[in-house]
Chains A and B, each alone.
Chain A
């Protein structure tokens, strides 16, 4: 095998997070800057050496040791300006690179990156950077912002972490209960960001979704963090992610649930989701994530759109509406009601929501009204609803879909 083919493409990205977690255990969470630089140095060394010498037998171990040595170099260089951090150098010197890849370290790093003192965007950006190994420019693309803006937020987030003087550990007991929700929320946000890219051509950012799933399953793999809510989160992501291949057509156009080729749904992921959903029921709490996962599972197990258990769906949505009466949840509850009880009661529930400011600018609200109106044989009002939907922000795939609906009314 040639050197160029010897490695999987995401080896560096995977190892970046594992090495960072290992070094953070040795050096502390306040040293994230030095750690990231040392990891980059190690990659630079690999790029310079490996094409000439060939890829080492254990590339991951090579990178780990290189990063440790680069961290030591940086500590020494730093000593020109400030007192030499002897204890850090000692810990590095006596470290065991074979200990890399411990789940505890990665989870501890996630708890640092998702500390509640950081705002939600800072949490997800820092997680993407340190745990998942994405670059600033890549994160900027996912957030539709500039690399400078991302850099600024990361700097601020890392400063907060330094000031907090966090211990590098998985919190337990009452502290776990207070800190796990931020972690769950950050993963949820990450997944949502990947699931619906707000504007632009790409409907999903599969990388973000895959990372969110990986992180959620890291939580469920550890006895301390495998709470009912974490299981529900993993289930929800599995169910949605299982449909990703069927959600977009060949040209990237949006394919609605009703029209998706269910043969393209990933059955293995759906089974994994069902196992997580089962596991989520063992706890005593019922969170909104449990209900969202249950709703996603109803869709995932339906053999075809018509055979969906609409009554069950409407039931879960009613429970969810009680726990989380957000406009979006109420919108979805109304749509489920329309399927279970018919377009007229569904439309009535949608019209009640007309005054909600958040939905007035939400394309899917108007699109749902348009659908029900055309099913009720009211094409002129339906056309008006689709026109209103097109006035709202939507990604290219969604706009195409709405334009087709509008044309069908005329």
Chain B
């Protein structure tokens, strides 16, 4: 047990984090064969590997295949609709959290992956970090 409290770790100068929300798109055609699934896996895994190698990858999860729900206020009670995107389960529905200098860089990272090429959509939002002073 430490008797002396640890000195405060100086806050590192880190890049802001962005969330890349990967939506499917019903416009894309699903893979037709095991070889095409393999090509798709290699493309996504290569993208994730590159993000890890660049030290940007902060985490990620797969989302379930349903389109999800959107709630909006409506005359006293909430209106629930499916959406906002029609998910197609053939595409990876999920999110990555990545570090990037700014939106431009985050967009470049998003573009360097295979998702758009497979007909998917990517929503990018910067995560607002709350700094303790």
Residue positions of A touching B, CB distance < 8 A: 2-4, 6-7, 9-13, 15-16, 39-40, 43-44, 46-52, 55, 133-138, 147
Contacts and interface: CB of A to CB of B under 8 A. Distances in A.
Interface string B6-42: 0000000000000000000000001111111110111
B37 A44 contact: yes
Contacts of B32: 135-138, 147
B38 A12 contact: yes
A14 to B, nearest CB: 8
B61 A47 contact: no
6 nearest CB pairs, A to B:
A135-B33, A12-B34, A43-B37, A135-B32, A2-B49, A3-B45
B34 A51 contact: no
Nearest to B114: A51
B98 interface: no
Interface of B is mostly: helix
A360 B61 CA distance: 65
B108 to A, nearest CB: 19
Interface stretch (B69-77, B85-93, B99-107): B85-93
Contact of B42 (A4, A44, A133, A134): A4
B57 to A, nearest CB: 10
A138 B35 contact: yes
A363 B64 CA distance: 58
Contacts of B61: 52
B121 to A, nearest CB: 16
B119 interface: no
A51 B48 contact: yes
A3 B37 contact: no
Contacts of B52: 2
Contacts of A50: 41, 45
16 contacts: A4-B41, A6-B45, A7-B38, A7-B42, A15-B34, A16-B34, A43-B34, A44-B37, A44-B89, A47-B37, A48-B62, A51-B47, A51-B92, A52-B94, A135-B33, A135-B36
Given A2-B45, A2-B49, A4-B42, A47 B92 contact: yes
Contact of B38 (A9, A49, A55): A9
Given A2-B45, A134-B35, 4 more contacts: A7-B38, A43-B31, A43-B37, A47-B41
Contacts of A46: 37, 41
Given A48-B92, A50-B45, A13 B34 contact: yes
B46 A4 contact: yes
Contacts of A44: 30-31, 37, 89-90
A50 B38 CA distance: 11
Most buried by A among B32, B33, B48: B33
Contacts of A135: 31-36
A7 B41 contact: yes
Nearest to A52: B60
Contacts of B37: 12, 40, 43-44, 46-47
Nearest to A3: B45
Given A11-B38, A135-B36, A51 B31 contact: no
Contacts of A138: 32-33, 35
Nearest to A129: B33
Nearest to B49: A2
B29 to A, nearest CB: 10
B63 to A, nearest CB: 9
Contacts of B90: 44
Contacts of A9: 35, 38, 42
Nearest to B32: A135
A47 B44 contact: yes
A55 B62 CA distance: 14
Contacts of B60: 52
A52 B48 contact: yes
Nearest to B36: A135
B120 to A, nearest CB: 12
Contacts of B34: 12-13, 15-16, 39, 43, 133, 135
Contacts of A10: 35, 38
A52 B47 CA distance: 10
Given A10-B38, A47-B40, A52 B33 contact: no
B22 to A, nearest CB: 10
A378 B49 CA distance: 67
Nearest to B52: A2
A133 B33 CA distance: 7
B19 to A, nearest CB: 14
